[in-house]
Amino acid sequence: MKDEKPLGVLRRCRRGFVNTIALLVFAAAGLPAHAQVLEAFAALPADTFAPGPTSGQFIMPANGRVPPFSDKQPVQGFSSVLLDHNGDFLVMSDNGFGAKENSPDYVLRVYRIDPNFKTKHDGRGTIRVKSFIALRDPFHKIDFPIVADLQFYPNSTVEVDPEIRRLRLLTGGDFDIESFRRAPDGTFWFGDEFGPFLIHTDAGGRVLEAPIPLPGVKSPQNPFLGGETPNLPRSRGFEGMALTPNGRFLYPMLEGSLTTDPDQRRLIINEFDLWRKRYTGRQWFYKLDAETPTGQAIGDLTAITNRRFLVIERDNFEGPAASFKKVFVIDLDELDADGFLVKHEIADLLNLADPHQIAASTGPFRFPFQTIESVIPLTFWHIGVLNDNNYPFSSGRAAGQPDPNEFIIIRLDRPLPVFPGRN
């Protein structure tokens, strides 16, 4: 069977003939390898909003945007992506404005989007926001006070929005969700940084049980910290989280090293058994590529097979200063002499060929955003990547202007390692 162009694959998805897993069965034998190429591009303007409670009441102006945003929520901060059954994509916004303290009026949502990709043949390069799922706790499953329980937003005299209180909406003051996956039963699992916690909801975003902590690990924002000393730095909880195609295991990955770890470049991937709803105790170790001056961090962890995963690793810079934004493949069964997962680079996001000027590139296409937090396999030869635009703060694409949310499809120079023995 011949390999398909990404747009053709997505159109077939919309007709209902394939689903997320089936996208990986398209063969690519006999096709020539070539450089990593930008094959499709779409963007959502930075100033995209959806109806909702007034937001941004606890942030300062940035990049020419002056908060608050009355009766609306920025559609921003995409930190995870799933392909839905009809070919739309589900994208998850994170905690909002970057911190627990400044995001209690940002409601946690999953947006359904429909990209119209620009390719060398056609397409507008636009993204349409179709709907959203709001995370909420109507059954009072969360076992600590949330913003919806309060009269005033924390440390302020501003009253909590009535909609947040009435619907018990979850906000960026409660959790910093950075990853999500859909289990075979249709429920969602979210990875959080504040606990770090795993959060389980139904398909409509309603919390089904108390958040599940990672044993022995607490961040400074953990609501159960008490007088304990945290052993995980702030904003370094679950960043990426893979779900195996067989639906059995989640693999949440810490963005930062434990403070007690003598090797501050070592990150931990834990195994969580969805059938038993508990951690198995099995762990794997990932080593960051460079020392801390460039602020190396993990952006995402996504399954290719039950044992192989895509990882985004990036520096903390944006625009011309960005120098390290890469996608790797790791295999849980492939370790180096020091016990770390072996990393195989498959894409340099700062050096993609754009021969057809799909993104109007005058040279190699760069994806120069501070935070790049979503990657998804689409075919043997194609992956999709999205940025987190940190609205209104990040300005990696045009100085002084907030970044858009961009969605690119990359053709790799070799196929993804779906079969045993292929690296």
Q: pLDDT per residue over 12-27, tens digit each? A: 444 332 333 333 333 3
Question: Alpha-carbon distance 327 to 36, whole Å?
Answer: 12
Regions of the chain short of the pLDDT cut 70: 1-34, 291-294, 361, 419-423
- Residue bearing tokens 């627990």: 100
Backbone dihedral region for residue 52 (phi beyond 0: left; psi -120 to 50: alpha; all else: beta): left
Q: Is residue 264 part of a domain?
A: yes
Taking the CA atoms of residue 49, residue 53, residue 54 and residue 55 in that order, the dihedral angle to the nearest 10 degrees is -70
Whole domain around residue 112: which residue ranges? 6-411
Q: Is residue 421 part of a domain?
A: no
* DSSP per position, 187-202: -EEEEESSS-EEEEE-
CA distances from 6 to 211, 306, 359 (A): 37, 23, 16
Question: Alpha-carbon distance 43 to 356, whole Å?
Answer: 17
Q: List the one residue out of 95, 98, 125, 314 whose CA is nearest residue 191.
A: 95
- Residue bearing tokens 């039950």: 306
> How many Cβ atoms from other residues are within 10 Å of residue 200's Cβ?
20
The pLDDT assigned to 423 comes to: 44
Q: Is residue 417 part of a domain?
A: no
Question: Alpha-carbon distance 362 to 353, whole Å?
Answer: 10
Q: Is residue 310 part of a domain?
A: yes
Please give the mean pLDDT across all residues of the chain.
Answer: 90
pTM score, whole prediction? 0.92
Q: Please give the backbone phi and psi of residue 12, each rounded to the nearest 5 degrees, phi first.
A: -60, -35
Hey, what long-range contacts does 15-19 have (CB within 8 A, 24 or more apart)?
Answer: 15/87, 16/85, 16/86, 19/83, 19/85
Q: Is residue 77 part of a domain?
A: yes
Amino acid at 265: R
Q: Is residue 257 part of a domain?
A: yes
Q: Is 342 helix (H, G, I), strand (E, B) or coil?
A: coil
Q: Is residue 416 part of a domain?
A: no
Q: Is 325 helix (H, G, I), strand (E, B) or coil?
A: strand
Q: Is residue 342 part of a domain?
A: yes
Question: Alpha-carbon distance 175 to 177, whole Å?
Answer: 6
Taking the CA atoms of residue 154, residue 157, residue 163 and residue 167 in that order, the dihedral angle to the nearest 10 degrees is 40
State which H helix or E strand residue 77 sits in.
none
Question: Alpha-carbon distance 104 to 171, whole Å?
Answer: 5
Question: Alpha-carbon distance 60 to 68, whole Å?
Answer: 9
Contacts of residue 307, Cβ cutoff 8 Å, sequence gap at least 6: 331, 332, 333
The total number of structural domains in the chain stands at 1
| CATH number, residue 346 | 2.115.10
Contacts of residue 314, Cβ cutoff 8 Å, sequence gap at least 6: 296, 297, 299, 324, 325, 326, 349, 371, 372
